[in-house]
Each structure stands twice: as C-alpha cells, then as structure tokens.
Structure 1
Amino acid sequence: MRMTDKEKMGMHVLARRIDLGSRVDFPNNAIPIADLFNLSVGRVFLKDIRTRDARTGHPGPNSFETFEKLSFYWHSAVDDYVNRYGQSIIHVIDWLWSASVEYHAWLKDLDDEGRPKKLMKCGSMSRLLHEADKAERPLQRNPLPHFMTLTSADERHVIDLGAGYSLVRLLSLDAFDVEGAEMSHCIGRGSYDEYLLVGGHEFYSVRDEDAARRATLQIVPKLIDDRMYGQIRQFVGFANEPPEAHVAALVAGVMSDMMWIEKPRTKHEVATDDDLARAFVVGGRLR
C-alpha cells in the first residue's frame, strides 16, 4: 500500500493515540515494533479510512490544504477507530512485540518487498485479531509454572475494596509471571516487561477473601491540568474474560480514591467524583 505524506500523518496520529512509543525495542528484536505496526494495524486502519471515504464520497485527507483541517480529520478518524477497535489493537500489538522479541518463524517468511507474508494476508482488524488469538492458544494450554514465592518486593497491598477483597500492585517480573500463569493471560509472557523497565504504567491484581486472584488491571498515567490521573487501559478476569460483575463494582467503588479515569480527557473535561465512580472498562484483553 503506497501512502502519501498526508496519509502518513494519519498513521503517526494513530501510533501516538495508542501510545506505541512506550513499546521499547530490545536489542534482539527481529523487526522494530513500529515497522510491524505499520504493516498490520496501520495498514488496515488506512484501508478502512479509504473505504469509508469512498463509500461516503469524501475526497479524503489529500484534499485538505491546511494543517489544521488535516489534523482535525485524522484525530477524528483515529478517535473513531480506537473507540471501535481499541482493545483489539492492544492485543495485536502485544502479539507483534512478543513475536519480534522471540523471533517467531513467520517473521522470516517474507514477500518480494521484504514484508512478513502473515501480516500482508491480513486485510482487516478481525483477521489480525484472529492471528493474535491463534498465537496465544498454545500458551494458555501450557501455562507457565507458578511455584515462585513472592515477597513485598514483588507485590504490595494498596487498598481494601470491601467484602474481603483487596487491590494489590504488581511490582516485579516474578509478580507478572505468577499473575499471568494463574490468570491465564499474557502479562507474564514478556510483552509487558518493558513497562517495569521504563516505568509509568502500573499493574494491579484484585484478590478475594481467600487471596485468590480475580482480575488484573493496567493503568496508564494521564496528566490533566497539572494533576495526574490514572487511566484504566485494561481490566480483565480469568483468560481475558470480562471481570465478574461484583469485582467490577468493587473496583468502581475506589475509582475516586485511586484517581482513576476511564479514558483520556482534555483540559476541559476534568472528571467529577460521580464520573470517576462509574468510569471503568469492563472487559478488554491483557495479552
């Protein structure tokens, strides 16, 4: 797919919107994550936008003569796309990052232009999601051993949620490994290790009265009017299923205390206490 400079701006806006820059490439990465992103999520995003404009008769981004109008076009298009596919995009990027670090075999099977054939065969987000799900199934059938003993250096109690439940912050790679093994999702498979290395993101585990794990959360920082909030990026139960209703309700009850919000807000959209109390994501994928 050939892109104009104005279309490349849309790819850049999408990458910034989903915080691709936080994905650190390790020295042994087979292919940089930005390149894999452009060949997969970015390519199907641009295809979707071109199809939409053709269907509606819109002349498309190349028709804009001012930066302001072009910027508004792309930010609106990206917001709509992320609202529809946000969790799927995160899941696909996790798969791509792990594949690059572990140098999966399909990365070596290239077309005449040096692009992975597996990605080029995916013409939609649903197809990319299918490939990401398929890659994870063997991991869920063969979970990591979770016999490690964790200490206060690995996880820390943060707040009581009520009904005997509590919120525990995950602080180490060992904590990630145990959480991922017991919850059957990918936090312990390496694709989230970078966040402990570069900092910024926070991860929490919901525990019940018997200290059993019931849900996992990923929180990203959001600065609004010189005040730092935490945005719930992912909130999942066992095997990436939506958290149980009562677990979601307990977490909702501490949203205000934790200074958590559901989504990024502009300087004119500072959340109220009532808004914080109900603003949480049910479902999503921690892969």
Structure 2
Amino acid sequence: MKLSKQDQELWEIIETSIKAAERGDVVHQLLMLSLGRVWFKHMKSAPQFLDVPGTEQMMAFHAQLGHIADWIDAAVMNDEPWLKNVDTQGRPKKLMKFSTLDQIVKEADKAMLKAAQTGRGLDLTGSSESLVAELAEGFYLVELHTPEALDRESAFMQHCIGQGAYDRHLKDGKHRYLSLRDPAGKAHVTIELFRSPAQVSNKEELSSLVSEEAAPDGHYWTIKQYQGKQNRAPITKYTDILVPYLKDCKFGISDQANGLNYIVDRNLNWHPVSNLPDTLDIAAFIFSGSNYYRDNDRHREKLRLPKTLLNTSHMCLTHAIFEHFPAHSLHNLLLSSCIIDSFDSKALIGENLKVSLINCKLKALPEVIDCLTAALDLRHVEQWPHTIKTKGRAIIRDLDQVSTPIKVNSEHIEIFLTTNQNIDVEHNLVSDGLGVHLSKDADILPRGINVQKLTVGPGNSKNVFIPDGTKVSLKIHIEGLSQIDHIHFPSSIPDRVLLTDGYTMNMHVGEYRRMRRQAAA
C-alpha cells in the first residue's frame, strides 16, 4: 500500500526511533511489524502533534521500546517456535495480532516471567560474578560476567537482561552489567553501563557532550539503564546507597536512567535535581519527575531550574513542577505534563528554537512567543500569549479555550478545536496555509483568518461555518466535502477561490454558491 507523504514522514520518524534500540536487522524488522505498526496506527488516530516526539503517546512507546526489544531479541537468540508460525507474507502471526501497546507489553511480561521461573535454579561458578564495591549498610555491588549470571539476575529481578538478549555484549568491551545486593545476597538494582560516546564522529561533537578534562581519552562510562524489579524504578533507599559510589566513578547518565534523579554536567559532576546550581554546563538537560514525585515527601515540591545553561541545545522536562522558567539559548524545548508558575518574558524567543508545550498547567505564558516552530497545547493555560510568531509551523491545540485575541503569524498554522466556545473572539491568524481540525462538538472556524490556503477537517460535523471577514486567496480544501450538508461561505471569500476535497470534487466557491441557491429555489 502506497503511503501519503504525511504518513511516510510519520513512518520514517517511528523507524528512526526503533533503530535507536540498536538490535540488528532481524530484530528491527520484527519490532517494526509489532511496535512500529501499532505505534503508527496510534499516532495516525491522534494527528495533532504528529511531528512532536515528546507527546504523551510517543513517550509511552519510547518507555517500553527497550523492554519489547529485549523480549524479541531473546526470542530470536533462542529460535522460539512462534517465529516460524507466519502468515502468507512471512510475518509472525503472534506479532500481527497486536493492536495496542498494552497487548505487546503483556506478551513481553509473560515471556519474562516464564524465563524467570526457569532461571532460578542456575548454579554459578566463581568466575560468573565479581565484587566491585562494598557499600553502606552491608550492601555491595557485583559485576555480571557470563550469560548464566545474566540469566540468574533476570530470574530474580524479573526483567529481560537474561534469556540471551544481552549475552553478545559481555565481551565487546563497551558494556558492563552491575547488580546491587543486600547483606543476604538478594539483588535489588541492575545497572547497564555503556562505554560512551556512541556515534560521535569528531572531537568537536565529543566536546559538546563531555569536557576534555573529564574524558581525556575521549571515552567515559554512562549508566544506560537503571532498573529495579520488573523494570520498575528502584526505590529511593537503594539509590541513596548507590549514588556515592556512582558519583565517585564519574559515570554519565542517559535519559533512560533518569530515575536516579540526578543531572550530570559536561565535567561528569553529579547534581541532585532538588538542588541544582545557578550555572550548569550540560549538552542536553533531560528530566522526568515521574519517579521523583513517587516519594511522598516530595509531593508537590517545586524544583528550581538553573539561571544559566552553558553549551545546552536541548531541554526536555516531563511530569515535574517548577516555580519559574528562565530564558535560555536553546534549539529544542519540550515541556510535557509540567506545572510552571511563571516564565521569563524571553523564555520562548529564539531564532532556531523549536518549542513544544504539551498538557502543561501554566499560570501564564510569555506575552510573545517568537521561534522557529511551535506546538502549543493551551488547554490548561490561565494567561495566554498575545503574539505567536514562527518561521515554520505553528500547531495550536484547543484555541477555543482562549478568551482573548491572539496574533499568530507563521508559515503554516494547524489549529485544533474541541468546542464552539469563545466564537466571538477575533484572533489575527496570518499564514500561507492554515489547517483547522474540528471535533464532533465544533463546527465553527475561528475569526480573523487571513491565509492563501485553508484546510478544514470537519470531524463528525455535517456543517462547516466559516465566519464573516475570513480571507482566503487561493484554495479551500475540506476533507470529506461530499459528506458535508452545508458550508457557510462569507462574502469576504471571492468566487474564484478553488474548493476541493483533494480527490473527486473540484469547483470554485462561486459554483458552490450557485448550487446552493439553485437547491434552495
């Protein structure tokens, strides 16, 4: 089946994300048949933020990618029989039956628990594990050296480090596997270390990640995964026991190991998120508070961001609470499910800045947003900006929640409406192209449109009302045009403007008006 240009772009985004799992061609293809296919279907059903990789939906898929990849990788390594039970196109039927992420995760969990039941009886020799460090309260850290040691760890921790998925990394010199044990020898935390940097092509790119002083030979160890039992985040007690040793080793922390609740700067110094310095030198500032706020003592605690960020191009903050958001020189900013009291007036201004604000509770956005691209979810914003200006695309969700006029000037604007609320508010929407996506409870376009091309997705509505004063100079595209009972065209739209559904219907607005007059007569 041939994909549309937009669908092809989405498929490529998903394929690139899955390639990051680095599992080889066979596992990659199986991941695309299962996770990739379901991911694609899910994102097509929620198109409002297709090109924003930090949406809640995409983050959920990213969070489970490693777990699902471990399961499929182990299945390939062990030549599981279900891989040979295929359909007429050679696709494993087990993978093709999935329609949701939850179904795939449950299947991976089931395989993990089955392997755990068979792995507990392993008899390890003395060379399978070695002591790395003695820690507080009688705890100690061991390194796992053999497939049998990984299988035993997997059996007791009920995750997928065993079953063969990680065996090939044991001797490559780029991976190490550590296990935190209590005085009785019981495992509580599994750590995967990776010899960084990965895929760095030159010294300049390396220096953007870590200082030469911290990694004089160009390499350093990074905590790639930090997992508790059943892939849950380890409890705070175990993290507190481990952190002094991990800090002394000057390990980096990947975004997958963010449950440690520390930020590591370019000098490989560790900073607790509860007490960040005023100035922080870091390539990418990434933090998720979902594990941090799990501790009841931190409930609703407001974190303080650094006033100055050095050498930082990306910032991604999710599920966290901040009192104030300072102005920084960034290329990419993603805020998802955050609570923020205030912004610096220049926080969302930058010639090369790409901004994504998703499902955040904000008391007030800056009055002016001026950046390269913007994806803005305005559902939970108390005070809106009065000017949004982008060189590229601007996506605005729930503009109907905005009760004061907003001026939007962008190359292309996408607007999503869920109700006919605030229909009398006249915005100033100026663009080459504007896409308006209506829901079943919205059939009225916003006021103040001035564009060359207008695209309308009517949802389930049988009527489309284009307000008086709307200006369109070239074309109006209405999806499912033949299913629409009535379209209100104001006199401000000339008869010469082309009206189309992109498939079977092409006429000018003047023709449509004449047809309606004849039908009424």
TM-score by shorter chain over 0.5: yes
Listed as ranges, the gaps of 5+ residues in structure 1 are 26-31, 61-72
Count of equivalent residues: 251
2:163 is equivalent to residue 180 of structure 1: no
From the superposition, tell whether residues 276 and 177 of structure 1 become closer, same or farther in structure 2 (CA, over 3 Å). Answer: farther
Counterpart residue number, 1:250: 241
Decide which structure has the larger Cα Rg and report it.
2
Alpha-carbon displacement from aligned partner over 1:55-105 (angstroms, at most 9, x marks no partner): x3x6x5xxxxxxxxxxxx3xx426765632344221111111122222322
Give the secondary structure class of the aligned counterpart of 1:253: helix
* CA contact 1:146–1:181 (8 Å) conserved in 2: no
State the alpha-carbon separation in 2 of the partners of residues 139 and 251 from structure 1.
28
State the alpha-carbon separation in 2 of the partners of residues 137 and 166 from structure 1.
26
2:12 is equivalent to residue 9 of structure 1: yes
Give the secondary structure class of the aligned counterpart of 1:216: strand
From the superposition, tell whether residues 193 and 51 of structure 1 become closer, same or farther in structure 2 (CA, over 3 Å). Answer: same
More strand by percentage: 2
Identity of matched residues, % = 25
Alignment of structure 1 residues 160-179 onto 2, 5 Å? 160-179=134-153
From the superposition, tell whether residues 83 and 98 of structure 1 become closer, same or farther in structure 2 (CA, over 3 Å). Answer: same
| TM-score (norm. length: structure 2) | 0.42
Counterpart residue number, 1:147: 123
**1:12, CA displacement in angstroms?**
3.3
| TM-score (norm. length: structure 1) | 0.72
* CA contact 2:15–2:32 (8 Å) conserved in 1: no
Counterpart residue number, 1:49: 43
Counterpart residue number, 1:158: 132
Counterpart residue number, 2:113: 137
Counterpart residue number, 1:95: 71
State the alpha-carbon separation in 1 of the partners of residues 36 and 274 from structure 2.
34
2:119 is equivalent to residue 116 of structure 1: no
Alpha-carbon displacement from aligned partner over 1:17-49 (angstroms, at most 9, x marks no partner): xx322x257xxxxxx111101101111222222
More helix by percentage: 1
State the alpha-carbon separation in 2 of the partners of residues 202 and 52 from structure 1.
39
* CA contact 1:201–1:219 (8 Å) conserved in 2: yes
Give the secondary structure class of the aligned counterpart of 2:45: helix
State the alpha-carbon separation in 1 of the partners of residues 95 and 86 from structure 2.
10
Query: Relative to structure 2, which stretch is displaced further, 4-13 or 117-126?
Result: 4-13
* CA contact 1:253–1:277 (8 Å) conserved in 2: no
State the alpha-carbon separation in 1 of the partners of residues 241 and 224 from structure 2.
15
Give the secondary structure class of the aligned counterpart of 2:77: helix
Give the secondary structure class of the aligned counterpart of 1:254: helix
Listed as ranges, the gaps of 5+ residues in structure 2 are 198-208, 259-263, 276-286, 293-521
State the alpha-carbon separation in 2 of the partners of residues 8 and 89 from structure 1.
16
State the alpha-carbon separation in 2 of the partners of residues 80 and 202 from structure 1.
31
Counterpart residue number, 2:448: none
RMSD (Å), alpha carbons: 3.4
* CA contact 1:256–1:276 (8 Å) conserved in 2: no
From the superposition, tell whether residues 177 and 218 of structure 1 become closer, same or farther in structure 2 (CA, over 3 Å). Answer: same
2:11 is equivalent to residue 20 of structure 1: no
